């Protein structure tokens, strides 16, 4: 998979750390998980007695010799939100491709197989006025973690594949509070995110898969002007670059506006040099999202993306032939009917023009229509049934063992997501 340009490229240490976190989590009988809806994931706030219980040792009496180190550990976890999820799916591609690969999809690509898409553990301490330092760590395992970081760190040997996010935060005492983040964070672009649990549909849209990046590494600033407007800015290595491929930097700017209750308008821009060893030719992205409730049960959402990149010379990547500039753009429309707390119906339609073949590798116009049925359980289990049809203006897929070229792809997916969080 290529994301406009547009590439992405794992460390056993991060897996060991994630394993230790899992061991601590499951070994802590004193920390009880409260059943709650999926969209109300809580936070884990550990105190010294809880930490001692996790270790199977009684908490020391006040003034005991071990009180100081325990207090230090407890201080590290105080105010920390501890969340996670596991995501499985089964997908059947009616083209029955011999390579068992569902093309032009982000993460749900395996045909006719029960597949772990992603397992994640996340720790976050948000910086607040009385404790201005914070941090965020997201550990991931599964094919999605590999896809997100395909070319993320070409100079580091894949050391960040299982770390989706890792950044330190500081809330500067400026106005209402200026939050500064240093490290790696997921992109602000698009109407969807990497985690299935937070999306309306199970599969990711074409706009999420192709014209926008997955993540950035650098520094960003977040500031809330009032309850209606917030702004953001960033300076990073670029698109999906944990380590930079040139000496130039990519700038980002964004604004979120909530003119009335439940209506949200988000606008983002990002631009910078993304070609290896080339600081002159920029890639630019404009991304906009609108979320609007029609009724108490029906919400609509729209997303538009426009990406453009210039090339050093005609024919040099990502340009082809005599072109010296490539563009890609598209629009996606969503509707969510929330019948009750447990059942929702979500259709999605989108159009994506990759007229120069800079993102998908083939000059084409893609469309897709998706219908997702969502069923949620109060314990944090989410079951999704999804039918999706993708089609193009050219024969871009092949069918079964005959490899017959076709212009469409139909899939049926069953997704199962279990999310948890603790207070």
Better pLDDT: 145 or 42: 145
Please give the tally of structural domains in the chain.
1
**H or E, element range at 68:** helix 67-77
Tell whether 326 is covered by a domain. yes
Report phi then psi at 176, rounded to 5: -75, -5
Does 11 score more than 70 pLDDT?
A: no
Cα distances (angstroms) measured from residue 402 to each of 140, 257, 377, 396, 406: 37, 52, 43, 15, 11
Does 132 score more than 70 pLDDT?
A: yes
C-alpha–C-alpha distance, residues 302 and 348, integer Å: 10
Tell whether 158 is covered by a domain. yes
Tell whether 332 is covered by a domain. yes
What lies within 8 Å, CB to CB, of 408 at 6+ separation is 389, 390, 391, 392, 397
Tell whether 409 is covered by a domain. yes
What CATH number does residue 242 fall under?
Answer: 2.40.160.10
Q: What is the pLDDT of residues 192-246, one digit of tens each?
A: 999 999 999 999 999 999 999 999 999 999 999 999 999 999 999 999 988 898 9
What 3-state class would DSSP assign to 148?
helix
Nearest to 286 by CA among 272, 268, 273: 268
- Mean pLDDT of all residues in 283-300: 97
Q: What is the pLDDT of residues 329-353, one digit of tens each?
A: 999 999 999 999 999 999 999 999 9
Tell whether 67 is covered by a domain. no
Bridge-based pairing state of the strands 80-93 and 113-125: antiparallel
C-alpha–C-alpha distance, residues 136 and 113, integer Å: 33
Range of the domain at 184: 83-422
Tell whether 200 is covered by a domain. yes
Tell whether 156 is covered by a domain. yes
Tell whether 24 is covered by a domain. no
What pTM was estimated for this model as a whole?
Answer: 0.82
Confidence (pLDDT) at 35: 34
Residues in the chain: 423
Nearest to 208 by CA among 86, 38, 368: 368
Of 12-16, 47-51, 61-65, 343-347, least confident by mean pLDDT is 47-51
C-alpha–C-alpha distance, residues 55 and 75, integer Å: 17
For residue 367, whether the previous peptide bond is cis, meaning omega lies within 30 degrees of 0, is: no
Q: What percent of the chain has pLDDT over 90?
A: 68
Q: Answer for the pair 140, 164: CB distance below 8 angstroms, yes or no.
A: yes
The dihedral built from the CA positions of residue 93, 95, 100 and 102, taken in this order, carries a sign that is negative
């Amino acid at each position: 998979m290529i994301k406009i340009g547009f590439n992405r490229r794992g460390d056993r240490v991060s897996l060991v750390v994630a394993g230790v976190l899992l061991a601590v989590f499951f070994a802590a009988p004193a920390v009880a998980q409260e059943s709650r809806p999926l969209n109300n994931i809580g936070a884990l706030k550990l105190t010294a007695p809880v930490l001692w219980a996790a270790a199977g040792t009684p908490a020391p009496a006040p003034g005991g010799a071990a009180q100081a180190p325990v207090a230090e550990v407890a201080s590290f976890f105080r105010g920390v939100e501890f969340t996670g999820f596991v995501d499985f799916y089964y997908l059947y591609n009616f083209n029955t491709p011999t390579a068992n690969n569902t093309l032009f999809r982000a993460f749900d690509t395996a045909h006719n197989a029960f597949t772990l898409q992603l397992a994640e553990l996340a720790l976050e301490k948000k910086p607040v006025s009385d404790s201005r330092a914070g941090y965020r760590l997201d550990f991931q395992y599964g094919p999605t973690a590999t896809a997100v970081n395909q070319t993320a760190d070409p100079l580091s040997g894949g050391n960040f594949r299982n770390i989706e996010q890792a950044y330190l935060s500081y809330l500067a005492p400026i106005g209402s509070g200026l939050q500064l983040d240093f490290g790696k964070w997921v992109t602000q672009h698009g109407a969807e995110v990497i985690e299935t649990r937070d999306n309306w549909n199970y599969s990711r849209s074409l706009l999420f898969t192709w014209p926008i990046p997955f993540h950035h590494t650098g520094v960003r600033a977040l500031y809330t002007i009032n309850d209606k407007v917030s702004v953001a800015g960033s300076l990073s290595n670029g698109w999906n670059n944990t380590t930079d491929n040139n000496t130039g930097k990519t700038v980002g700017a964004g604004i979120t506006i909530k003119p009335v209750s439940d209506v949200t308008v988000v606008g983002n821009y990002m631009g910078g040099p993304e070609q290896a060893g080339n600081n002159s030719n920029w890639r630019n992205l404009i991304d906009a999202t609108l979320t609007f409730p029609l009724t108490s049960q029906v919400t609509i959402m729209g997303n538009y993306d426009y990406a453009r990149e210039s090339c050093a010379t005609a024919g040099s990547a990502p340009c082809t032939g005599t072109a010296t500039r490539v563009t890609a753009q598209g629009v996606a429309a969503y509707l969510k009917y929330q019948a009750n707390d447990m059942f929702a119906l979500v259709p999605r339609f989108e159009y994506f023009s990759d007229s120069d073949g800079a993102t998908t590798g083939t000059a084409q116009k893609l469309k897709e229509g998706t219908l997702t049925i969502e069923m949620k359980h109060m314990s944090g289990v989410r079951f999704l049934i999804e039918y999706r049809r993708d089609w193009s203006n050219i024969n871009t897929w092949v069918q079964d063992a005959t490899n017959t070229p076709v212009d469409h792809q139909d899939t049926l997916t069953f997704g199962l997501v279990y999310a948890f969080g603790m207070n």
